[in-house]
Each structure stands twice: as structure tokens, then as C-alpha cells.
């Protein structure tokens, strides 16, 4: 029987101008659905787990379309709540070369932002679950969403469910001070914390020394120091960090780092060029870790799987990482040729 994993967050309608157009050029938009925790759920369903996604969507055709999109990829939506005024939207302008991608949010007053903590029966939702995942985006949406997130992680911990969070700081949703206050409460119940250099600094004031994200320069020892500080402060069982070297919007270096409280494990480094779509890259790393750890892989194998999975995501349009375990394992073992598979 496949293991049950539950994720909780906001699913969004994503609107993107075609062919790398700018917003001011666009006469049409491509519509897909996504969102951090939904991205994780889809990937885990692709890997063969029982992936449940919990959210609140408006009781109208747009809300149903979002739910149908999740079901298309095998995600279970039994605990999706209906109600509220609208589905959140985000617009993405896809960058290229030295022009960065841009995102504009239109999610104020969305159904999940106005959800009440009592909308979610966490003991029922988490029954028989092996893992629960949430990110720092969901509690940033509103005070009620923050309360629901804290109730979820607290209940999961009480029920013996492994809990993970990706800090995922979003400056357009809240301030560092607000993030620190809420996430300091959330992480009390977290076993695996996923972050990058900006998340650790903005949320907890922990900076990676010797790293400059605007120049693409990374210092692995600086990340070791960040991870040690996170473990010392919060007692996480695992801390994982994504290492993105941004040479341009179309060319990144990519790898991952995992700490198990004793040793650091660094994945293979990938040169990703050209990038088709980097949105969801961090979520695909997180879902890779969850799958690998749940399937009994050791720390090195887990971070190798996660980094390979997220590398492949950069080749796929949309938020979701639509790859299989076999495809990830092939890359993780070193086959980066991209040759036609017959």
C-alpha cells in the first residue's frame, strides 16, 4: 500500500504570455494551475505515493477547474473545502538571457486566505498519514491561514506524522518581521526544513557568508554555517538547502545540500541551459527529498534524487514536475546526455 502524504496550501491560476513575451506585449495568456504545495503533491503522485492536497477553492467553475487539474495527475482532493469569493491568480513573465522573469500576484481575498482554521479537520485529514508538508507561503496569506498552518503542524506532530516545511519567503506577501514571528512557531513542529540563502536570511536573520546571489557566487562552507545555526536554534532532524547559481535567466548551476545532524551530503551539480521554466524548481527538490526519505534511501541517495528531480523540472513548462522515478534515477546515476529514449 502506497504511503499517504498530505500537503496544504493555495492553488493558483497562473497566466503567462506566450513565447517569452513581456506583459505589455501580450494579447493572450496561457493558463495553467500551480502553487508550492500543489506542486509537491503532483510530483509525489507521479512517484506513486498517495498524495492528498488540502486547500479551499471557490464553489464555482474556476475552483472546480483547479481541482480537476490536480486530479488529472493523480492527486487526491477528498479534503478540499469549497467556499470563499475567488481563486488566487498570478501572472508570470518568463525571462530569457539577462532579462529576469517577473511575477505579479493577484491573490488578495482568495478563498484560502479567508479560510477559517475550523474549516480543516486535521485529525481526520492526517489519519494514517506518513508525512505532512507545508511552506512559508501559506501562513503569509492571512492571519487565519497562519493559524490553520500552525494547527496543522501541531496536530501532525501530536499524531506522529513527519513534518516538512520549505521556508519559501515571499517579500510581496509579508515582511521579514512577520515571517519570523509566524515561522518561528511553525518550525517547532518540523522535522525537515528546506531553505535557500534568501529564506534563511529574511526569515531568521541567518546569512550565508561568502555568497552573492546576484553574481552567481556560492560558498558551500557558508551554507554549512547556515545549516548548523538552523539546527542549533530549532533542533531539526534534517536541513536541506538548494544551491542555485544564477548566471542568467536561461542558464543556472543547480545542486542540493542535505544535513542529517551529523554529516553534510552534497548532490551532483547540474548545468541547466536553456531553462524552459524554473517555477517550481524548489518544490520539485522538496518533493524529491520527501519521496526518497519515505522510500528508505539514505541521505546521499536522497539529496541526489532531489537534485536530479529538480534539474529535470527546469525543462518542463508549468509549475508541476511531470517526471517519473525512473527518469529521475537515470539522471541521478549520471546519464545527462538527453539522448532519445526508445
Residue 338 lies in a domain: no
CB atoms within 10 A of CB 256: 31
- Confirm whether 212 is domain-assigned: yes
Tell me the residue range of the domain where 73 lies: 4-332
Is the bond into 92 cis (omega within 30 degrees of 0)? no
Write out the E strands in 126-209: 129-135, 162-166, 192-195
Q: What is the pLDDT of residue 337?
A: 73
Query: Is residue 147 domain-resident?
Result: yes
Summarised one tens digit per residue, pLDDT across range 145-165 is: 999 999 999 999 999 999 999
Q: What local confidence, expressed as pLDDT, does residue 217 receive?
A: 60
Instruction: Please tell me the predicted confidence (pLDDT) of residue 29.
Output: 97
Q: Residue 68: what pLDDT?
A: 97
Q: In CATH, what number is assigned to the domain containing residue 309?
A: 3.40.1190.20
pLDDT given for residue 339 in this prediction: 72
Cα separation, 179 vs 161, in Å, equals 24
Which parts of the chain have pLDDT scores under 50? none
Chain centroid to CA 327: 20
**What are the cell numbers at 31?**
493558463
pLDDT at site 220: 80
| H or E segment to which residue 308 belongs | helix 299-313
pLDDT of residue 214: 54
How many C-alpha atoms does 258 have within 13 Å on its Cβ side? 26
Task: Please report whether residue 341 resides in a domain.
Answer: no
Confidence at residue 43, expressed as pLDDT on a 0 to 100 scale: 98
The number of folded domains in the chain is 1
On whether residue 93 sits in a domain, the answer given is yes
pLDDT at position 222 is: 84
Domain-embedded: residue 229: yes
- The whole model's pTM is what? 0.94
Residue 188 lies in a domain: yes
Amino acid at each position: 500500500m502506497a504511503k499517504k502524504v498530505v500537503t496544504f496550501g493555495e492553488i493558483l491560476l497562473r497566466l503567462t504570455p506566450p513565447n517569452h513575451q513581456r506583459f505589455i506585449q501580450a494579447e493572450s495568456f496561457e493558463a495553467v494551475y500551480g502553487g508550492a504545495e500543489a506542486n509537491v503533491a503532483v510530483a509525489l503522485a507521479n512517484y506513486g505515493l498517495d498524495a492528498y492536497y488540502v486547500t479551499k477553492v471557490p464553489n464555482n467553475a474556476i475552483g472546480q477547474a483547479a481541482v480537476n487539474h490536480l486530479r488529472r495527475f493523480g492527486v487526491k482532493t477528498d479534503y478540499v473545502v469549497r467556499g470563499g469569493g475567488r481563486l488566487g491568480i498570478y501572472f508570470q513573465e518568463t525571462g530569457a538571457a539577462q532579462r529576469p522573469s517577473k511575477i505579479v500576484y493577484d491573490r488578495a481575498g482568495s478563498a484560502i486566505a479567508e479560510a477559517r482554521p475550523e474549516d480543516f479537520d486535521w485529525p481526520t485529514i492526517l489519519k494514517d498519514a506518513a508525512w505532512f508538508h507545508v511552506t512559508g507561503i501559506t501562513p503569509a496569506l492571512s492571519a487565519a491561514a497562519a493559524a490553520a498552518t500552525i494547527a496543522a503542524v501541531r496536530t501532525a506532530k501530536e499524531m506522529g506524522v513527519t513534518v516538512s516545511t520549505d521556508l519559501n519567503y515571499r517579500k510581496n506577501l509579508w515582511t521579514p518581521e512577520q515571517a519570523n514571528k509566524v515561522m518561528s512557531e511553525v518550525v517547532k513542529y518540523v522535522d525537515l526544513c528546506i531553505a535557500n540563502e534568501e529564506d534563511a536570511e529574511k526569515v531568521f536573520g541567518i546569512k550565508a557568508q561568502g555568497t552573492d546571489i546576484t553574481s552567481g557566487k556560492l560558498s558551500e562552507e557558508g551554507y554549512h554555517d547556515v545549516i548548523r545555526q538552523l539546527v542549533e536554534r530549532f533542533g531539526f532532524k534534517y536541513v536541506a538547502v538548494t544551491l542555485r547559481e544564477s548566471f542568467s535567466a536561461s542558464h543556472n548551476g543547480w545542486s542540493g545540500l542535505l544535513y542529517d545532524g551529523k554529516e553534510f551530503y552534497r548532490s551532483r551539480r547540474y548545468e541547466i541551459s536553456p531553462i524552459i521554466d524554473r517555477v517550481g524548481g524548489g518544490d520539485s527538490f522538496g518533493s524529491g527529498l520527501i519521496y526518497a526519505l519515505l522510500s528508505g534511501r539514505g541521505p546521499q541517495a536522497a539529496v541526489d534524487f532531489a537534485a536530479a528531480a529538480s534539474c529535470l523540472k527546469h525543462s518542463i513548462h508549468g509549475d508541476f514536475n511531470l517526471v517519473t522515478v525512473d527518469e529521475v534515477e537515470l539522471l541521478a546515476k549520471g546519464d545527462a546526455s538527453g539522448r532519445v529514449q526508445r
